[in-house]
Structure 1
Amino acid sequence: MKRILILIAVLLLILSPRILWSMKTATPLDIAVIDKTVPKTDYREHNGLFWILDNEKIFNDREDTYDIGHDYFGYDPYDQKPFPPFNESGPFDLIYIADTYGVYSNDLKDAPDGERSKHIYGGMDLLEWNQIMNSRDQQSTLIAEFNSFATPTDSTTRSVMEENLNVEWTGWTGRYFSDLNSEEIPPWLIRNYEQQYKKKWNFEGSGIAFVHLSDQVVVLGDQEKRPFVQFQLTKEGATHYEHVNDSHYMYWFDIVRPQEGTVVEAEYDLHLSQKEKKQLKDAQIPTSFPAIIHHEQEKTYYFAGDYADFPKQSLAKWTGSSYLFWLFSDDESQFYWRSYVPLMRHILTDIAEEKAE
């Protein structure tokens, strides 16, 4: 009998996070997610957001958790065709634009080789964007992240989006690579570099590559051991987000300028040498630029990176599991667990509290 009681106690202890999640009161929020970059069924570009919605027990209008394969506007990886475009009247509590880069023929291969290929679907349409804006009211929060208005969105639509999001894109994107001599480097990046500089791509070790809309390339790879790109809160951001931590950022980012009325709540620190600062200055690339831009009155956020892009994780419906992943996060995952998850938890809490008033 004693052994049975001990076994029951152990099982209750193990299952208690799931039991606590089941007992937690659900928070109903009307959320629209736009993700046009869904070539595969991993839903990677918005998976990170949906994990948080599950973990926080955010319910949709069907009084259920959000369905990662259904509750978004974009491309259907099963039927390999677009869902109907956004045509909702709202108002939504949150509109989140995860990615509009789209789907290309190379993406549909079992093993994509990183080459540029035929554009199948993607980009933001001006009519669709206007519909998105019309589905907001004074309480609606709008979040957009890279790549929401860059290629292949046309310049007219991009200009309108920039105005509504209170940012200006410089045309530059970039990414930290842990190994500039690995298969992870896109072949087109190497070709553009070699054509531009008339020399072979012979980088070793880690580095940062910048790519302009015009295909101009700048590569920082001279440091013997390059520190990671650091995501760090500004003074304003640290005041606003008590539990968001600085972290290594290892994905694509874009370089944007904040417009009047916005607050830069986080920045990227590239740990540049004097030589590299000059290299960027010669290319008219700023050496410091925003990671999060927030316009409080307009309730808009721009995340200058691929923040919701994250591989699938289990234990979403377990109370406290995010803290466990936070504790054991590595260089690849620490931005997600230490920065993005607490950031979105804070924003979602703010939205829910304002809705309840």
Structure 2
Amino acid sequence: MWVAWLITPNKKMVVAIIDKTESVREGRQHLSLTWVLNNEKYSKTHKKLYDVSNDYYGFYPTKKSEFKIKGLERFSSSQLEQLSNDCDVAYYADTYGIYNKDWAEQNNLPERGAGMIYGGMSQQDIDFLKKVKSKKKLVISEYNILESPTTAEIRKQFENLYGFKWSGWTCRYFDSFDPSENKDLPSWVVNNYKVRNAGKWPFTKSGLAFVSSLGEVVILEDLVHLDNPLPFISLSKGEQTNFHLKDNVKFPFWFDIVVPDAAINRVVANFNIGFNQKGLDELNKHNIPTNIPAIISHEGNDYQFYYFSGSFSSTNTLSASSSHYKWISAFKYFLYNEDDTLESISFFWTFYQPLMVTIFENYYKKIGTYRGK
């Protein structure tokens, strides 16, 4: 399998990867993307494949708990124009950023004060995306590109550019709302709810936490508001065929709730969530949309665009070296545990990998059009 991969010819496809939330050298926030590119032998030059630690724009952790910032903010207009000419694809993996407190805790450093070190979409990002769109090239973006620390003005420009809006709400599944049992339950979710509810936190079951941009928290519990609390990504039969995906793939991570312009974008996949009537009433009470897209797309002759409502390309358990084996996906059922609810590797093998293989394969066939071939 390694020899077969080694002798497979490279296919040059220049992908400008933007990741402003990468806090480790292993590139965990965009590792899934780089894995697919390398496994499929897409290369940044005719000879060089992608290096997960170096081939992206954004936050660069270095040795000795230090870092460098190599984002598009340092680019002039002419440099952005050159990058938009050089690249075939722009992929915004994560723009949430790095915060002083988190960086200090991760590296056992004294805290340098509150606030952000680096993050959020910038005007340079918008200018770059406008240039890429005008050249009819592929743009893919993920959660969290729309929320804080991206400013409202920058977000509005992005929404207008690609024809959808953020509702102001995000959501995540938790297997327990008991803070004493679930250490992954963020304290700020509990505290924000208590502030608006007389200091009470009456939840212990599994369920969904909806969080607004204003800090409001709405909790839907299993057996109270939900017949099934675990979100699944669901596709029509046609879309399953188009992208070689199966229906109802679990997604127990953060996702945002967006509202697409149906005249511009189509909904490729939705989140399938088991709301009962009490749950629907609670959503309506807080003006939270009940139809929640997981993927929207625009695939016209004018430009090509995908938006993933979750952090699809992030993983903590994928081995970068395993991308150097051809046909390894044929053995994917031996590489993850389907019963592990919170395992990101199962999402990679059952959804992200076949999705991206199909998107890139279809797009690569079109690259020659704008290259003049």
TM-score, normalized by length of structure 2?
0.85
Aligned counterparts of 1:270 and 1:43: Cα–Cα separation in 2: 31
User: What displacement does 1:336 show?
Assistant: 1.8
Matched, 1:126 2:113: no
- Report % sequence identity: 30
Consecutive unaligned residues of structure 2, counting only runs of 5 or more, are: 108-112
Alignment partner, residue 353 of structure 1: 365
Alignment partner, residue 354 of structure 2: 342
User: What displacement does 1:121 show?
Assistant: 0.8
Alignment partner, residue 208 of structure 2: 208
Alignment partner, residue 94 of structure 1: 89
User: What displacement does 1:312 show?
Assistant: 4.4
Answer whether contact 2:173 2:209 (CA < 8 A) is retained. Answer: yes
Alignment partner, residue 27 of structure 1: 11
Alignment partner, residue 60 of structure 1: 44
Answer whether contact 1:40 1:108 (CA < 8 A) is retained. Answer: no
Alignment partner, residue 254 of structure 1: 256
Matched, 1:287 2:290: yes
Alignment partner of 2:350: what SS?
A: helix
Which amino acid counterpart does residue 341 of structure 1 have in structure 2?
Answer: Q
Alignment partner, residue 220 of structure 2: 220
Which amino acid counterpart does residue 52 of structure 1 have in structure 2?
Answer: V
Pick which of 191-200 and 259-268 moved more. 191-200
Aligned counterparts of 1:146 and 1:30: Cα–Cα separation in 2: 22
User: What displacement does 1:117 show?
Assistant: 5.0
Answer whether contact 1:75 1:82 (CA < 8 A) is retained. Answer: yes
Pairing 1:70-89 to 2, within 5 Å after superposition = 70-78=54-62, 79-85=66-72, 87=75, 88=80, 89=82
Matched, 1:196 2:196: yes
Alignment partner, residue 5 of structure 1: none
Aligned counterparts of 2:4 and 2:205: Cα–Cα separation in 1: 45
Aligned counterparts of 1:18 and 1:295: Cα–Cα separation in 2: 36
Answer whether contact 2:248 2:272 (CA < 8 A) is retained. Answer: no
User: What displacement does 1:226 show?
Assistant: 3.9
Change (3 A) 1:126 1:345: same
Aligned counterparts of 1:71 and 1:346: Cα–Cα separation in 2: 22
CA offsets, 1:229-267, max 9 Å, x none?
Answer: 011113552342234543000111000011122110000
Alignment partner of 1:71: what SS?
A: coil
Change (3 A) 1:253 1:84: closer
Matched, 1:324 2:331: yes
Which amino acid counterpart does residue 364 of structure 2 have in structure 1?
Answer: A
Pick one of 85, 101, 105 that aligns with 1:106: 101
Change (3 A) 1:189 1:213: same
CA offsets, 1:164-194, max 9 Å, x none?
Answer: 1221100101111122221101111110011
User: What displacement does 1:197 show?
Assistant: 1.4
Alignment partner, residue 240 of structure 2: 238
User: What displacement does 1:338 show?
Assistant: 0.9
Change (3 A) 1:256 1:317: same
Which amino acid counterpart does residue 256 of structure 2 have in structure 1?
Answer: D
User: What displacement does 1:222 show?
Assistant: 4.1
Structure 1 segments (4+ residues) deviating >6 Å: none
Answer whether contact 1:236 1:263 (CA < 8 A) is retained. Answer: no
Answer whether contact 2:244 2:355 (CA < 8 A) is retained. Answer: no
Alignment partner, residue 269 of structure 1: 272
Pairing 1:175-190 to 2, within 5 Å after superposition = 175-181=172-178, 182-190=182-190
Aligned counterparts of 2:38 and 2:354: Cα–Cα separation in 1: 14
TM-score, normalized by length of structure 1?
0.89
CA offsets, 1:208-232, max 9 Å, x none?
Answer: 1010000011011242784420111
Which amino acid counterpart does residue 349 of structure 2 have in structure 1?
Answer: W
Change (3 A) 1:138 1:245: farther
Change (3 A) 1:289 1:346: same
Alignment partner of 1:228: what SS?
A: strand
Aligned counterparts of 2:71 and 2:95: Cα–Cα separation in 1: 15
